[in-house]
Amino acid sequence: MKKTVLVIDDSDTLREEILRSLRGVSLFDTYLEAGDGLDGFKVLLNNRVDLVLCDLEMPRMDGFRFLTMMRAREEFQDLPVIILTGREDRDTKIRGLEQGASDFVTKPFDTGELVARVRVQLKMKGLQDELKRSNEMLRTLSITDPLTHLHNRRHLMEMVDKEFQRSSRKGAPLSLVILDIDYFKKINDTYGHQEGDRVLTILADIVRRRLRSYDLAARYGGEEFVLLLPETPVQEALSIAERLRLEVQEHVFEGSLGGLVITISLGVATYPSSRVESIDSLFRQADEALYRAKQGGRNRVELMAGASIEKGVP
């Protein structure tokens, strides 16, 4: 990946000397510069930077103020900053380190020392970035169903808890849809479990396409899925469920599944409601609605008991 350095110093001569030293060892692909902390911060906001070399004493905004503004933003928390200063007193260095400086280079600087300190900071940042990527990958794996790549049940319950609390505070509607593939056992018996898994992944793709960016879909278990729909009243949840039902029914399978037609049954529940006072009752109402959809002939959507389809008010 290409690397970028930002050099901030009010001395044109010193900036050029630093840039020349860094170009001589080819540590970076892009070299940016600014004459003071204010301009440097603007450059930082508009560019992806891997390391900053910043003078301590500058007009308009000095190095201390620059560090304070930079560390106040989450995206810059791990960005290494090497402070350039003519001061050698202990208090200055302690203050700079406390405000987020990664290292100090004293002016006039030795080119070899400057390059060595830059190399160390780049290596440390590379290790930190790799650790963050690994942690993010582990986080993704821990909340994802390995077959369908939808969220797993554990993450679903965490998000339901958060959204239920938010809905309780704001009085905003929260809808839950439980859906189940009709006669899925017959699909497994006829085509085999490997093709049955393929049906599950295709259904997951359809669900993923149908949902809005702030909705959440999870595999709840087996051939059962759950949709969590924040800020969604019952009538809108019913429309989403019905469109999904139709899209699944109309899906054309290819290959060894050619000619297969699958359908789903769905149950919809919404909070707040006189029948829903907790997460457990929200799931229970959706599950009972799903059961009625199954009993009513399958391939249909049912609302929680007492919900009004016309007014959309549970």
Q: Is residue 158 annotated as a catalytic residue, yes or no?
A: no
Number of Cα atoms under 13 Å in the Cβ half of residue 111: 12
213-221: which pairs have CB atoms within 8 A and are 24 or more residues apart? 216/151, 216/156, 216/159, 217/150, 217/151, 218/145, 218/150, 218/151, 218/152, 218/153, 218/155, 218/156, 219/145, 219/147, 219/148, 219/150, 219/151, 219/152, 219/153, 220/153, 220/156, 220/178, 221/153
What are phi and psi for residue 300, nearest 5 degrees?
-155, 165
- Report the alpha-carbon angle 137-139-140, nearest 5: 65
In one-letter notation, the amino acid at residue 298 is R
As to burial, measured by CB atoms within 10 angstroms (0-12 exposed, 13-18 middle, 19+ buried), residue 25 is: middle
Separation between Cα atoms, residue 38 and residue 265, nearest integer Å: 59
Q: Is the peptide bond before 108 cis (omega within 30 degrees of 0)?
A: yes
**How large is the C-alpha radius of gyration of the chain?**
29
216-221 sheet: strands from edge to edge: 216-221, 224-230, 174-181, 264-271, 301-303
Separation between Cα atoms, residue 207 and residue 194, nearest integer Å: 20
Marked catalytic residue, from 223, 247, 277, 310: 223
Catalytic residues: 223
